[in-house]
Amino acid sequence: MAEHAAHNRRVLGSSPGGPINYSLKKYSNKNPPMSNVIEIKNLYFKYDQELVLEDINLEVEEGEFVSIIGPNGAGKTTLIKILLNLIPFNQGTIKILNKDISKDTSYLEYIGYLPQISNIDKNFPITVKEAILISKYKRKGLFSLPNFVYTSQDKIEVEKIMELLNLEDKKDKKLSELSGGQIQKLLLARALIRNIKILILDEPTNFIDPKSKTELLNIISKIQNSLNITILMVSHDLNIVYKLTDKLVCINKKAFVSKLDNKYQQNKEKIQQDLKSIYSQNFEYIEHFNCILE
């Protein structure tokens, strides 16, 4: 296992819900108080009689970048499925954007999700720009489809999204012409064009080459630094987790939560113990001071 020294990157941008604004806005040392966009209390989940998640407690602040790590079968994907309302949980409470997700699913409109494996049909005869524009249908409503006309503002937002994700030179390419890394960027663009408030990434760098991986991670960092979006990322790669993350959640049935800010050095021993507890005692801790990120 390897890790990088974390740093505090609390940078927020425009408020989601309106036109997208990519200007970088840094706050002073006295950051304004942030509200929790996700609150998980005493969460339990079982598959049949097998306990998968046990007494999970987690708070995620607006604009925070949270990484979720743990061995295979530890419950990471299960937790994501619960947050996406794909499976019901057995006990506890979860609030997302102040909505109790067991009673109100309207919060899902403001969540973007990038799965491990995309089921996008690369043979569908559509360009990158058209694929991003189509995502506007969800916000405007499918019943408006027969009379739907893209506005000039829609097109401006798409251009800005493509610029942010380095897709400008691919806008007229067909999906079949895209690489795996370019497909990942396209899916990110389709999520961001909906003005989401929370972005969930499930192993976003799987199945792409190292160069595309570095570019995608730099783009994810730029998104978090430029927009007021909360990011949850599931990853096995501690090399990137420590560079990007504000909060680390180690899961193996139970959750161990650590803040990765300017107190990181003080928390280092606790974090090492948490990692050993979820990965077993055969855990080698190696700290790197260089990162693949630019």
DSSP state letter for 43: E
What is the residue range of 97's domain? 2-17+43-119+196-288
Does residue 36 fall inside a structural domain? no
pLDDT in tens, 94-132: 999 999 999 999 999 999 998 876 667 788 888 999 889
pTM for this one? 0.76
Task: Give the strands of the sheet with 91-96, arranged side by side.
Answer: 50-61, 36-47, 91-96, 99-100
Does residue 259 fall inside a structural domain? yes
Q: Work out how many domains the chain is built from and give that number.
A: 1
280: pLDDT confidence band, cut at 50, 70 and 90?
A: low
Strands (E), the chain: 2-4, 36-47, 50-61, 65-69, 91-96, 99-100, 111-114, 198-202, 230-234, 247-252, 254-259, 286-288
* CATH value at residue 107: 3.40.50.300
Give the whole-angstrom CA distance, residue 222 versus residue 155. 21
Does residue 51 fall inside a structural domain? yes
The whole-chain average pLDDT of the chain stands at: 77
Strands 230-234, 198-202: pairing kind: parallel
151: pLDDT confidence band, cut at 50, 70 and 90?
A: confident
Give the whole-angstrom CA distance, residue 250 versus residue 92. 19
Does residue 161 fall inside a structural domain? no
Strands (E), 70-182: 91-96, 99-100, 111-114
Contact 168, 111 (CB under 8 A): no
Interior/surface letters 155-182, b for 16+ CB within 10 angstroms, e for the rest: eebbebbbebbebeebeeebbeebeebb
Give the whole-angstrom CA distance, residue 154 versus residue 150. 6
Give the ranges where 210-293 is alpha helix by DSSP (H).
Answer: 210-226, 238-244, 264-279
More confident residue, 151 or 230: 230
